[in-house]
């Protein structure tokens, strides 16, 4: 009987175990995990803490008992692996309960050791009530502390996905939340204009966000509990800290065994998910993957990717012939922040420029449903394309409307190497409760095509912000009523339908930026001014709706 | 100045007008429409009647005045076109207000005459209170009648999309609704097992559905108002009838002008949307289109298609060189029925078989969100693939969960000729509030791959229903608690985890169908029985969840 040994029992590890057993019931499958719990939904932990998910058993998908009973899989929990000895096809582990050493032989080994939070060595970091959140055990401790009413003010270090999801969930528990982020914007992996929209939204909700600020040290009380954090700018009192500034792949075991580590710092695997040593596979958060756009190795630890990799590795280890391949990822991610949602896939504008593409971008507000159907909400799509091939390089979507549908449409299109022209003609499902007649993805693609074919020139909010001090004229074509509510500093209001008669009020020679609510009236004004001989005109991408800077 | 003339002022017609003017502001654009209103959202009319949309102005996107003011487009409403004279590049119309004839010359002509309800000549069809629903004027009359409290019982003839949307909206207005459908199932364009789920759901809501029933005549009172309908089976009293049994393209003008009509009965156009006569284009519900899977001409009148066609035709008529192409449709459609939603794209199983494909199908229940995230709901995906190429041929989705996302993912994949293998590996956006870690589309694709690679054999609910009287054994692997609530007649309950010990209770030689809730435990049981030497075993596709027939 062939022996399959798996190190790691969360998403990827248990997926390999269960699928391999279904593929080949004759396999002897053993899972070693240093944790107490297996097969849990790590991504659900913030919602468990926030009481959105009431019972911890809801996020524990399988127990060792159920995996044994249903699939005859052996799970050894609280077993820390000390060493992999590939020459002898053997793994040495220690039972953390009784400190006994065990040696387990394998025919095939799968490394699914996951990732861990990066914790810096700064003064006070070992104080009580400074947490990271990665495992069920972490979540149980944090939740019991909150349930006991002992957290009033929480400080979150790191404005990435876990930090932001925890911000929402702590806030929901009645806790005052401050986020400290060392970079200029929260939401790493997003372009600034999108991140800024999220930042403004969270601030309005009452979450304090401090960017470009660095934690120096922590102070504690006599019980050894954290009481304040010292940053490079100030001191902040707190009774709870979540350190969520980065994670790193758990590669030590693999490295010690002589397995090749990739340039991203994660374990290198080929498309069959084999490591550099025969009969040893790697899956999940501890391995790197290929980026489907650039072809380069990247490291995006994601539960969804772990599951897919687990299935691929399982099929390959379960049969004598390996067949399944895992071709790569787009770096897709999505987050809910109260009613706001943000998603990304592929390259950001910055990354695309760095990769040397001839980049074109659009920023298009639209509705998720028909504008006349109740409950419709605005979303803003930023799309990044390659001018040469018209291929989609990336997209980011933000708004209170439905964003997971358009991002997944774009993911599908990008994976299949679609051009913008393809995307603009898709026969999407349309009825008023589900979509606009021209769906948001189609509208966005059409604006992109207008740009790619030179029908209009745009200027991004970031570029306009930088030009505000220069000698340009900003023409706001909205109605007077809209204009008086809020407008970009120093802009001139000529409502679109008066433009033909009042164009003389403008200077034909000056660089002119046209602004409206979302871009439609600006496009009409653009055509009018072009016909009137204006040379240097641009439309503000995304209009006032997507402009994340100060209005007057 | 070039003259562009458009016949028809709803979705496609006004889209051509507006986009052509933006492409080429020098064009002189005129729209002729026999209706009073232009540029309205026909798909919103049922929701306007149902009071979901309160104000008629919400569904009227543009008025003749706004189109004149903003884009300098001339709209002649209440002008019925009598004749197109291609040799003279001239159109003759009659002003329905003053009966004056007008002649209008064109350089380019676009026919966007739409479609009309099919009304049979049966006794009593001309009685008052028998309506069709196609235009704003239709909706205004119907709504005012309901607002006046004069409709208590409504009868809808035809269980297609408009009929069903109206059923929901009339019901919402407190009206007792009966639907009469002449075919075996409602929801034409769907396979029976999906249609049956919708039928059961609507019946449970209190909508009476009579299938395989034909309307013979109507009776009326002394005021000439309908009072009852006579079918081939019974007589039903009613005070309101909506006739929604079919629509036909308005092709008379085109036909009279010598323009070629396609085999579907709609106007034939090429990929540039040109008709058979030079400088005459056709767009929207009056023209046929190419099916992207079969390559054959089809006629699917849809507002979303009309908009896309309008844009393509506009770009082609606005420039001397035509560039834009409209490659075709998948026949995508979606409907909301109270909380239930149903969507389809591509070929049904029946259509795929008729086209000669080697068809494989799956029926997979799953969750729209993570199973542990509050508010998650079940959806059922039926997917149809080609065994030879592994290409997706079609899909149908039904359920109370989110279905528009998965159908649009599949639309995108099909448009780009994806194989099931591609779809199964997509890097979709995952976080618990948006999706399962393995999204519904991926789960469905994986089941399909298991079938395509011969890892399991399935039997559809329709096939099982036909076999119920035969000598087969049905093994229900759910728990005893689940089994006692409801099960398929004459099935044997052996909970999955007892199967290894109790398999002897089954007859190894008999054809065996394995059933569970959604298919997961059945798959494990399938593997167990196979190992035990059972030869003729099949899994019920979609389990009890997707089984639309009677349970005991």
pLDDT for the residue numbered B254: 98
B409 touches A: beta carbon within 8 Å: yes
> From A50, which residue of chain B is nearest by alpha-carbon distance?
B373
Instruction: Give the distance from residue B99's alpha carbon to the nearest chain A alpha carbon, in angstroms.
Output: 34
- Rounded to the nearest 10 degrees, how much is the dihedral formed by the CA atoms of A487, A489, A495, A496? -100
CA distances from A329 to A183, A415, A498, B108 (A): 25, 9, 50, 48
Percent of chain A with pLDDT over 70: 100
B373 vs A: CB within 8 A:
yes
Do the Cβ atoms of A394 and A354 come closer than 8 Å?
no
By C-alpha distance, the chain B residue nearest A23 is: B455
A51 touching B, CB under 8 A? no
Joined together, the tokens standing for residue A145 give: 């502390």
Cα separation, A10 vs A113, in Å, equals 9
CB A452 within 8 A of CB A424: no
Q: Does B429 touch chain A (CB under 8 A)?
A: yes
Single out the residue of B371, B367, B439, B429 nearest to residue A47, CA to CA.
B371
Which of the following is catalytic: B41, B43, B462, B492? B43
Question: Helix (H, G, I), strand (E, B), or coil: what is residue A303?
Answer: helix
Q: Do B434 and A372 touch (CB under 8 A)?
A: no
Three-state SS at A475: strand
Residues A362 and A541: beta-carbon distance below 8 Å: yes
Local structure of residue B311 (DSSP, 8 states): H
Measured between CB atoms, does A304 come within 8 Å of chain B? yes
Q: What is the pLDDT of residue A321?
A: 85
**What chain B residue is nearest to A330 in terms of C-alpha separation?**
B427
CA of B304 vs chain A CAs: smallest distance (Å): 5
Buried b / exposed e across B111-131, counting CB within 10 Å, b at 16+?
A: bbbbbbbeeeeeebeebebbb
pLDDT of residue B237: 97
Identify the closest residue of chain A to B442 by CA–CA distance: A308
Min Cα separation B406/chain A (Å) = 8
CA separation for the pair B541, B222 (Å, rounded)? 55
- Integer Cα distance of B435 and B369 in angstroms: 4
CA distance B92 to chain A (A): 32
Q: Do A156 and A139 contact (CB within 8 A), yes or no? A: no
Residues of A in contact with B332 (CB under 8 A): 427-430
A412 vs B: CB within 8 A: yes
DSSP string, A29-73: EEEE-SSS--SB-GGGHHHHHTTSS--HHHHB---HHHHHHHH--
Q: Does any CB of chain B come closer than 8 Å to the CB of residue A299?
A: no
| Nearest CB to A429; choose among B404, B426, B524 | B404
Active-site annotation holds for A286: no
Nearest to B58 among A43, A372, A429 (CB): A372
pLDDT given at position A542:
96
**Higher-pLDDT residue of B70, A142:** A142
A308 touching B (Cβ < 8 Å): yes
Helix/strand/coil for A390 = coil
| B407 contacts on A by Cβ (under 8 Å) | 429
Catalytic residue among A43, A94, A462, A532: A43
Report pLDDT for B323: 85
Q: How far apart are CA A194 and CA A468, in angstroms?
A: 20
Of the candidates B174, B177, B182, B147, the residue with the CA atom closest to the CA atom of residue B165: B177
User: Cβ contact (<8 Å) for B437 and A411?
Assistant: no
Alpha-carbon gap: B263 to the closest alpha carbon of chain A (Å):
22
User: Is A438 near chain B, with CB under 8 Å?
Assistant: yes
8 Å CB contact between A3 and A105: yes
Alpha carbon distance B518, B379 (integer Å): 11
CA-wise closest residue to A151 among A180, A174, A131? A174
> Inter-chain contact A437–B71, Cβ cutoff 8 Å?
no
In this structure, what token pair is assigned to residue B523? 């798959």
**Contact status, residue A512 vs residue A472, Cβ threshold 8 Å:** yes
Chain B residue with the nearest C-alpha to that of A530: B25
How high is the pLDDT of residue A519? 87
CB within 8 Å: A22 and B52: no
Residue A14 has pLDDT above 90, yes or no: yes
Pick from A59, A335, A405: which is nearest to B405 by CB?
A405
pLDDT of residue B352: 98
Residues 6+ apart with CB under 8 A from B519: B364, B365, B447, B539, B540, B541, B542, B543
For the residues A102-128, what does the mean pLDDT come to? 97
The pLDDT assigned to A322 comes to 75
Query: Is the Cβ pair B428, A327 closer than 8 Å?
Result: no
Given CB atoms, is A500 within the 8 Å cutoff of chain B?
no
Mean pLDDT, rounded, for A342-356: 98
DSSP state letter for B267: B
- Contacts with B430 from chain A: Cβ below 8 Å: 43, 302-304, 332, 334
Up-side HSE of residue A516: CA atoms within 13 Å toward CB? Answer: 20
Indicate yes or no: CB of B437 within 8 angstroms of CB of A41.
Answer: yes
Question: Which residues 164-183 of chain A have a CB within 8 Å of chain B?
Answer: 165
Give the C-alpha separation, B445 to B423, whole Å: 7
In the sheet that holds A3-7, the strands lie side by side as A74-76, A28-32, A3-7, A108-111, A280-282
Rounded to whole angstroms, the Cα distance separating B415 from B410 reads: 8
All structural domains of chain B, each given as residue ranges with its CATH number in brackets, are: 3-114+248-318 (3.50.50.60), 130-245 (3.50.50.60), 339-452 (3.50.50.60), 458-546 (3.40.250.10)
Within the 311-370 window of chain B, which residues sit less than 8 Å (CB to CB) from chain A? 311, 326-336, 341, 343, 345, 370
Q: Which long-range contacts (CB under 8 A, 24 or more apart) does A272-279 make?
A: A272/A312, A272/A316, A272/A322, A272/A324, A272/A325, A272/A326, A273/A309, A273/A312, A273/A313, A273/A316, A273/A326, A274/A316, A274/A322, A275/A111, A277/A86, A278/A86, A279/A89, A279/A106, A279/A107, A279/A108, A279/A109
pLDDT per residue rounded down to tens, chain B (552 residues)? 899 999 999 999 999 999 999 999 999 999 999 999 999 999 999 999 999 999 999 989 899 999 998 889 999 999 999 999 999 999 999 999 999 999 999 999 999 999 999 999 999 999 999 999 999 999 999 999 999 999 999 999 999 999 999 999 999 999 999 999 999 999 999 999 999 999 999 999 999 999 999 999 999 999 999 999 999 999 999 999 999 999 999 999 999 999 999 999 999 999 999 999 999 999 999 999 999 999 999 999 999 999 999 999 999 999 988 789 999 999 999 999 999 999 999 999 999 999 999 999 999 999 999 989 999 999 999 999 999 999 999 999 999 999 999 999 999 999 999 999 999 999 999 999 999 999 999 999 999 999 999 999 999 999 999 999 898 999 999 999 999 999 999 999 999 888 888 988 999 999 999 999 998 889 989 999 998 999 899 999 999 999 999 999
Chains A and B form CB pairs within 8 A to the count of 229
- ipTM for the complex shown: 0.96
> Looking at residues A28-55, what average pLDDT do you find?
95
Residues A361 and A378: their CA atoms lie apart, in Å, by 19
- Among B302, B408, B430, whose Cβ lies nearest the Cβ of A302? B430
Contact check, Cβ <8 Å, A437/B370: no
Percent composition of chain A: helix, strand, coil (DSSP 3-state, to 5): 30, 25, 40
- Mutation target vs A (from B306, B427, B521; most A CBs, 10 A cutoff): B427
What's residue B501's pLDDT?
87
- B405 vs A contacts (CB less than 8 Å): 402, 404-405, 408
Nearest-CA distance from B228 to chain A in Å?
32
* pLDDT (0 to 100) of residue B320: 87
Flag if B422 and A429 touch (Cβ within 8 Å).
no
């Amino acid at each position: 009987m062939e022996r399959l040994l798996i190190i790691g029992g969360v998403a990827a590890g248990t997926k390999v175990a269960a699928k391999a057993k279904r593929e080949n019931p004759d396999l002897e499958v053993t899972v070693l995990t240093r944790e107490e719990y297996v097969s849990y939904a790590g991504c659900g932990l913030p919602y468990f803490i926030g009481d959105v998910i009431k019972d911890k058993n809801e996020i524990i998908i399988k127990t060792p008992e159920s995996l044994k009973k249903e699939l005859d899989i052996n799970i050894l929990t609280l077993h820390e692996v000390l060493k992999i000895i590939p020459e002898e096809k053997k793994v040495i582990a220690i039972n953390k309960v009784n400190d006994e050493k065990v040696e387990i032989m394998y025919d095939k080994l799968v490394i699914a050791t996951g990732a861990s939070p990066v914790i810096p060595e700064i003064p006070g970091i070992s104080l009580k009530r400074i947490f990271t959140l990665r495992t069920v055990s972490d979540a149980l401790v944090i939740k019991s502390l909150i349930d006991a009413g002992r957290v009033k003010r929480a400080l979150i270090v790191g404005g990435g996905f876990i930090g932001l999801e925890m911000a929402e969930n702590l806030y929901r528990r009645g806790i005052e939340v401050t986020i400290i982020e060392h970079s200029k914007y929260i939401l790493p992996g997003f372009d600034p204009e999108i991140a800024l929209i999220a930042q403004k939204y969270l601030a309005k909700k009452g979450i304090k966000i401090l960017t470009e600020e660095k934690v120096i040290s922590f102070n504690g009380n006599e019980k050894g509990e954290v009481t304040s954090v010292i940053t490079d700018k100030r001191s902040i009192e707190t009774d709870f800290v979540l350190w969520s500034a980065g994670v790193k792949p758990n590669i030590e075991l693999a490295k010690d065994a002589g397995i090749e580590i990739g340039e991203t710092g994660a374990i290198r695997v080929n498309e069959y998910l084999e490591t550099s040593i025969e009969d040893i596979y790697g899956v999940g958060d501890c391995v790197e993957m290929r980026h489907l756009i650039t072809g380069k190795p990247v490291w995006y630890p994601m539960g969804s990717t772990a599951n897919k990799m687990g299935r691929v590795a399982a099929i390959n280890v379960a049969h004598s012939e390996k067949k399944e391949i895992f071709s790569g990822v787009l770096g897709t991610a999505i987050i809910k922040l109260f009613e706001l949602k943000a998603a990304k896939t592929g390259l950001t504008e910055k990354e695309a420029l760095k990769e040397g593409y001839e980049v074109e971008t659009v920023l298009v507000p639209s509705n998720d449903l028909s504008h006349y159907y109740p409950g419709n909400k605005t979303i803003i799509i930023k799309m990044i394309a390659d001018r040469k091939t018209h291929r989609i390089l990336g997209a980011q979507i933000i708004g209170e409307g439905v964003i997971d549908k358009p991002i997944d449409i774009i993911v599908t299109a990008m994976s299949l190497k679609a051009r913008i022209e393809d995307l603009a003609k898709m026969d999407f499902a349309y009825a008023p409760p589900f979509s606009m007649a021209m769906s948001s993805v189609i509208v966005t693609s059409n604006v992109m095509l207008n740009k790619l074919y030179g029908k209009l020139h745009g200027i991004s909010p970031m570029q306009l912000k930088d030009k505000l001090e220069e000698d340009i004229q900003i023409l706001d074509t909205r109605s007077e009523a809209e204009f008086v509510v809020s407008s970009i500093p120093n802009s001139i209001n000529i409502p679109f339908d008066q433009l033909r008669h009042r164009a003389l009020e403008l200077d034909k020679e000056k660089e002119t930026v046209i602004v409206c609510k979302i871009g439609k009236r600006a496009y009409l004004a653009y055509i009018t001014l072009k016909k009137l001989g204006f040379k240097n005109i641009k439309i503000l991408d995304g209009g006032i709706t997507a402009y994340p800077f100060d209005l007057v």
